[in-house]
Structure 1
């Protein structure tokens, strides 16, 4: 087995020795929890759960593609929200990034995320090439 870290210029990398945004082990692609923070790590991109979810799904897409996969290779997501009532906004954004069978998914309400204005955080697992015939 081989573990490799992947990067995207569209996604800010964390400080060294904290975590990896995206790892690939053979065909398994693991994406850490993504939020709608901008490249500076502070600015929040989007005020609604829908807007933030779109930013997050785009980051996941960028990382999965950098690792050699596609969004339809995503097989599992865990979505953290600060308000369960935002689920419809998250689902609306999700529909813009997936076709065919949607990934298995858990939706979890949490008391807070890393910053008070962050409404959504999403982590993903993909298997490169599993969506192709």
Structure 2
């Protein structure tokens, strides 16, 4: 009987310790989660505010260490297509705009983890894709190359969107 009572006391003590550790662990997680939520307030960036407001999008949004960048196309500051008919130049113009956005957030193309390319002319894109080696110097990101029927404006031949991870 004494042995059973001793075992019960030990078991009760162990259970109390487990509950105390669990409660402390939950409190710690709640504190950590609230810190994460505070840091995850979206930061929006407009490269061409008037154009982006007219079309109803933000060019980039940063949440925590992640940055989502809308598809860049070859356009001037008024939203007019540039380099019409020249996919290679349109691609270079897209990367120039993307570079401006990356710099706004203190990033480079080395921070890009995903790149999706949409093109209305895959053969021309494939012929010009070697230019990407001038953009991605360390490594290439993940992503997809998609041939599409059309983009927002008929003169656009390519659109490039990025996802970025900014290390602390």
TM-score interval for Structure 1 and Structure 2 normalised by the shorter chain:
0.7 to 0.9
**Runs of 4 or more consecutive aligned structure 1 residues displaced over 6 Å after TM superposition:** none
Higher gyration radius (CA): 2
Per-residue displacement from partner, 1:27-59 (whole Å, max 9, x unpaired)? 101100110011110142453111000000111
Q: Alignment length, in residue pairs? A: 127
Q: Which gives a bigger RCO, structure 1 or 2 (Cα 8 Å, sep 6+)? A: 1
Structure 1 residues without counterparts, runs of 5 or longer: none
Q: What CA distance in whole angstroms lies between the structure 1 residues aligned with 2:101 and 2:135? A: 14
State the TM-score, normalizing by the size of structure 1: 0.86
Q: What CA distance in whole angstroms lies between the structure 2 residues aligned with 1:43 and 1:17? A: 14
Identify the structure with the greater helix proportion. 2
Question: Which of the residues 106, 112, 115 maps onto 2:144?
Answer: 106
Question: Which of the residues 109, 115, 119 maps onto 2:153?
Answer: 115
Structure 1 partner of 2:62? 24
Per-residue displacement from partner, 1:56-97 (whole Å, max 9, x unpaired)? 011111101102221110010110000111232441232221
**CA RMSD between the two structures:** 1.9
Structure 2 partner of 1:58? 96
State the TM-score, normalizing by the size of structure 2: 0.69
Identify the structure with the greater strand proportion. 1
